[in-house]
Amino acid sequence: MNKDLIKNKIEELRKEIEFHNKLYYDESKNIISDYEYDLKMNELISLEKKYPEFSSKTSPSLKVGGKITKEFNSFKHDEQMLSLGNTYSNEDLNDFDKRIKKLLKKESIEYVCELKYDGVALSIKYENNIFKRALTRGDGKYGDDISNNVQTIKTLPLKLKNNQESELEVRGEAFISKSNFELLNKEKKENNEQLFSNPRNTASGSLKLQDSSEVSKRRINCYIYSLKSNSGLFKTHEECLIYLRKIGFNVPNTFKKCNNIEEVKEYVKDWELKRHDLDVETDGIVIKVNNIDDQNRLGNTSKSPRWAIAYKYKAESKVTKINNIIFQVGRTGAVTPVALLDPVLISGSVVKRASLHNHNEIKRLDIRLNDYVNIEKGGEIIPKITSVIKEKRANSYNKFEFTKICPSCGSNLEIENNQAVSYCKNDLRCKPQISGRIEHFISKNAMNIDKLGPETIKGFIDKEIIKTPADLYKIQYNDIINLEFKLDEKDKIRSLKEKSCNNILSSISRSKSKPFSNLLFGLGIRYVGKTTAEKLTSHFKNIDNIINASYEEIVEVDEIGEKIAESLTSFFSIENNITLINNLKAAGLNFQENKIDKKSNKLNDLVFVVSGTFSSFSREELEEKIKLNGGKVSKSLSSKTNFVIFGDNMGPKKRIKAVELNIKMISENDFISMI
């Protein structure tokens, strides 16, 4: 076939597919079937493979994905991605308006109101009209590069039309619509797979998948709400939004310019109920000063822009019935009551259960079986019972009695030190405790055995392959090949094949090189978190020194309090824990602090706190340099702190405390001069 004809055919297919993408995602219209659309896409992909000379970085075929990303590299945002301050009432909005007028010395202020979509914040950069990079919010200053995955979003242009700027950065929200979320879960259900929990978490998890072709199947959409421009072409935020739509971005048509704060309040009121009719989750309204010069004059605090604020609607509340209360056992033996509910739709997801936390919570609410209760989502994420509707309660409802025996192993429960929590002390035979401890041991901040999941761990325990974390290092290939166990509550069976077995064994082997602090954290000693483990290993150098340390010696360690010291001495007084450590030693794990080759003793006996973000180093790199030069790093300020190294966005509370304690504050450059 003539090359010119082929080129024309490829360009024609691209235009057609882009037209149908825009029609479907922007206007919710579908004038061809999915089958016809797929035929066109497959034809385009086939031609592009056969004739690579006609490939294009902006082809809609990229929306299908296919690239594998092993690691997500971090990049610095050109301009920090800040979070918004929250308001919850008209009085708060009035205060915001007064504050803006006072700072700007103006009588009237124009605002732009936009719906606050519940998704994943993105920063997307274009050069010479071509998509360059997409970053997550990250810590606000640095974000992960998820470009391969973001390119699969069908509503996001890879090439801009009629754009007047050589470089352009936009910000937006990636999300999965309610209807598409239902379709995804329908497919999951048909395949007997675990359902997704909610649209926001599904979108977030999807954008960090390694295979972009899988991301393309998740039906992710993206609304753009901000343009970062230094061209001076735009006087107002409203102009920016209109321009963004003109050059091809998916800007929702729900924004509105308001001439004053009263019109803002009307917009807020108007959308309070109407927003639930949309096909996308929202949790409030974003209010922005419209004039860009005014925005620049107002500037930012360390965390938020002064010129914008979010109005958060009250959490949606629904009435449902408690059908049962069950008890779950955690890795520490703590027994938690959980209410099983009549399923109810709240904020876009179906809620079937809610934690009741402990004795005191049940007593405070006076919850009983078959009660009708008000339930909402804390932060629109965690289901929470807020009250009992007592007028619906029948006289026959008896007070609920907290169980006195472990729901898993039948042991008698104990309450420690008049706490509100019951504990099962049968930690060696109680399966949920065994699996919980092992899941903690293999977690990312501990031994990071990433090829093992909770269901596999439970399967190994049920088959008596493992009883303690040390047993992981005894597993042989023949122990687990073709091993069958239940994958979920629906009795779906999983069988381990060759590839899975080899991945598990390799992951276990790699974990042996993890630092001593990871291993100490992985032991699951109560109150010993990641930072505490680092302080203990740095001070005592090896496990034997920690085991043999007295209560008084432990308390002397910087920032280690009485509760931690009591927990450590108690843990190491138990024979089974010493046996576990000896078995882990025999397996070749690292119970010794690696020697740091010091560069100097310039910072000997000096204690530093590092706060904020920095231009030349990450916080971790600065802390490493402190240690390499003989200094100590602390996470919190005290009278023992000698210096605070402060960067951008240093927490205001830390700054105030540093002043109160008369601690010297130094910049990144001051520190470099010191060493």
Q: CA 624: distance to chain centroid?
A: 26
Query: Is there a catalytic annotation at residue 40?
Result: no
- Burial label, 44 (beta-carbon count in 10 A; 0-12, 13-18, 19+): buried
From the list 550, 578, 576, 575, the residue with the least C-alpha distance to 565 is 550
User: Whole-angstrom Cα distance, residue 65 to residue 18?
Assistant: 16
Task: List Cβ neighbours of 307 (8 Å cut-off, separation of 6 or more).
Answer: 100, 288, 289, 294, 295, 298, 299
User: How many residues in total does the chain contain?
Assistant: 675
- Burial label, 239 (beta-carbon count in 10 A; 0-12, 13-18, 19+): middle
Type of residue found at 542: N
- CB count in 10 Å sphere of residue 6: 15
For the stretch 301-305, contacts whose Cβ atoms lie closer than 8 Å and that sit 24 or more positions apart, written own/partner, are: 302/612, 302/648, 302/649, 302/650, 302/651, 302/652, 303/82, 303/83, 303/85, 303/649, 304/82, 304/83, 304/84, 304/85, 305/82, 305/84
- CB count in 10 Å sphere of residue 1: 8
From the list 416, 404, 417, the residue with the least C-alpha distance to 332 is 416
Active-site position among 9, 67, 70, 116: 116
User: Whole-angstrom Cα distance, residue 397 to residue 123?
Assistant: 54
Please check whether residue 383 is in contact with residue 443, taking contact to mean a CB–CB distance below 8 angstroms: no
- Burial label, 376 (beta-carbon count in 10 A; 0-12, 13-18, 19+): buried
From the list 311, 289, 287, the residue with the least C-alpha distance to 298 is 289
From the list 241, 287, 312, 314, the residue with the least C-alpha distance to 97 is 287
Phi and psi based region of residue 417 (left: phi greater than 0; alpha: psi -120 to 50; beta: remaining): left
Give phi and psi for 662, each to the nearest 5.
60, 40
Element (H, E) at 174: strand 167-175
- Burial label, 315 (beta-carbon count in 10 A; 0-12, 13-18, 19+): middle
Q: Can you give 367-394 as a three-state secondary structure string?
A: CCCCCEEEEEEECCCEEEEEEECHHHCC
Q: At what angle do helices 454-462 and 431-441 cross, to 10 degrees?
A: 130
Kindly list the catalytic residues. 116
